Amino acid sequence: MDQYIGKMLDNRYEILERIGTGGMAVVYKAKCHRLNRLVAVKILKSDLAQDADFRRRFNAESQAIAQLSHANIVSVYDVSRGGDTKYIVMELVDGITLKQYMEKRGQLNWREALHFITQIMRGLSHAHSRGIVHRDIKPQNIMVLRDGSVKVADFGIACLEDANQTLTQEALGSVHYISPEQARGDRTDARSDIYSAGVVLYEMLAGRLPFEGESAVSVAIQHLSSIPLAPREINPDIPEQLELICMKAMASDIDRRYRSADEMIADLEAFRKDPGIDLDFDLEDLRAVDESDEPTMMLHTGPVSHTVSMQTRRNNGEREKPAREQGSAEGYHKHGNGKKTALIVGVTAVAVVLVFLLFHSIINSFNAPPINQNTVPELYGRTLDFIYSMPEIEGNFEIVVNEETVSSEEYPENTVARQHPKPGEVRKGENRVIEVWLSSGEEQGVMPDVTIKETAASAKVRMKDLIEKFELTIDESETLAQFSQEVNAGYIIATVPAAGEPLKKGDTVKMIVSKGPEVKQVPVPRFVGQMLDSVLAGLDKFKLSCDEAVDVEMVDSEEEGGTIVWQSLEDNTMVDEGTTIKFKVSSGLSDYVVTETYELPQDGRDVVRVQVYVGDAEKPQFDNNIHCSDETVTVKLRASGFHPVRIYFDGVLDQTQSHEVQFGG
């Protein structure tokens, strides 16, 4: 069994199952108990974790990677800072790798490839802007989500790979995508990622890799010395300009490659808006200077290959013949002299034919069919993939996707929420462009950080505008409360969703409030049948409390006086330390009751407080307010033996009625 399954990292991340293995790390599905969410935990393999220099670089670079925050990059939530286990905590992506997606779909539609590569480059642009180079871009490290968006993964480990290390069999999975400078062991920069992204685009367009071999070394050598077959020779449906973008990204000469991800994105966006755009370079511009004696391998693709062939002939000393030299000159000389009449007749005939054709063309223009016109279809609520497959669109309209998105409750995310022109309008001739705006889904808010320094009440005040705008429900129920050693009781430990996560209309925000430090529990002994004095004397050792003046009640009982006959906490149960326990104790006086009647003062008072004490007791056996109009009050007194009885009216001793009483026989 895997040693990490069931283990808790840093008393926070519970490892649930293994979901992937790579050359440098193992990826697990885990649960974050602090924020109550599922995450992915990538644990560095033990042999690498034992290298002190590697650990130092791992910690430094992982901290930098954790700062990346982009929609097309898998988010890094946390990195380990101590202990023997080195790991990175990332978002758990609900999707499959681009490699798996291509294996299922085979050769992708060029529009889909354009959609994916644009998002990949945006993620790389964000990373490069922060000085981070991935160095291991490949379809296996790109996740495709259910909504069609993509996220670049594995920044944490890829950044640590030594660019100078020798290629081994373990690198076979990545060597198909490495740049020539990586294969040579040279220093790499952001342009190496661009080359790898170009290979990914090539594979999506052509349905195959540009270079293949039986070993990692043989593939690496091809990256250094070979030119791949042009994608359009494999699939002629690929637009020529998209092929050029792909081949420029894959230029073996790093100086002929795109200088930045943003530069490549600019060409991708320009092509997306106008597939017929004329880029300022062609395949000939992308060829590296050949310093060997071997002839250069040509990239054959339509008109460009004709240009290459003509250039090759010029380089070999061949001269192009003028058009008149390429035809036969014999007939020209044969009829060039003495046949002027025939020539004039021929020219006249040609002129007549031209005039006739021109006249016929003018007449036909009046009877020509109307210019081709198309009715704009309704695209609201539909995905781009569906739209591209619509018969009303294919061959009739060009779809241009506006970069701006539109928040919408009506149309799901990544479906059309706005279009121009509107459905039903007619477009004639070449004016057949439909611009669409995609929905970003419902308008969203952002959950603020209300932890540690906020109570639930103050958090709701701070979030008042959000609560009203998005009709949020705040759940602060006791069932969510947790003990905490760090957060004071009553303050918020965490929220679901967490700070920074999106809020949608109608969401419920759970506020997990601290109950303070966890209180230990103790068992309750059986005290019934024991003497009260001995129980109270030893109650501290049971971690329970009892105030004799408040929590002890004397009751008539056949038990010996002072014996506990009832306890408020059931024995053999568990309660918090310091819990109060109450007792009922036998008075031992059940057979010694005396009934006494006393006269009330008639001095004008309406009510008088009557207190009757037996013997030297500090606590009266009768204590009540009585209306003087009753004239007398009757009380029952309990005692054993001969005792004086003292009667007080409003705290003043009435000596005339105080007397001694015999209790019992």
Q: Report, as residue numbers or ranges, the catalytic residues.
A: 136
The alpha helices in 38-97, defined as continuous H runs, are 46-49, 52-65
Whole-number Å distance between alpha carbons of 414 and 384: 8
Whole-number Å distance between alpha carbons of 68 and 90: 12
Whole-number Å distance between alpha carbons of 653 and 636: 19
Residue 128, CA distances (Å) to 75, 133, 191, 194 in order: 16, 6, 10, 11
Q: Is 335 strand, coil or helix?
A: helix
Which helix H or strand E contains 495, and what residues bound it?
A: strand 492-496
What's the first-to-final CA gap in the chain, in angstroms? 83
Q: Is 105 strand, coil or helix?
A: helix
Among left, alpha and beta (phi > 0; psi -120 to 50; other), residue 650 is: left
Instruction: Dig out the tokens for 25 from the structure.
Output: 């790390």
Whole-number Å distance between alpha carbons of 123 and 130: 11
| Residue 497, preceding peptide bond in cis (omega within 30° of 0) | yes
Whole-number Å distance between alpha carbons of 264 and 258: 6
Amino acid identity at 80: S
Whole-number Å distance between alpha carbons of 364 and 360: 6
Instruction: Dig out the tokens for 509 from the structure.
Output: 């925000």
Whole-number Å distance between alpha carbons of 218 and 652: 114
| Residue 601, preceding peptide bond in cis (omega within 30° of 0) | no
Q: Of 19, 28, 22, whose CA–CA distance to 89 is shortest?
A: 28
Q: Identify each DSSP E strand in 456-591 by its residue range.
A: 473-475, 492-496, 502-503, 508-513, 521-523, 552-555, 564-567, 574-576, 583-586
Strands 37-44 and 76-79, sheet pairing: unpaired
CB 140 within 8 A of CB 200: no
Residue 250, CA distances (Å) to 180, 232, 264 in order: 10, 15, 11
Bridge partners (DSSP) listed for residue 95: 145
Instruction: Dig out the tokens for 549 from the structure.
Output: 């003046």
Q: Computed from CA positions of residues 78, 79, 85, 86, in that sequence, does the dihedral angle turn out positive or negative? A: positive
Residue entry with tokens 């354009």 = 114
Q: Of 232, 299, 244, 302, whose CA–CA distance to 271 is shortest?
A: 244
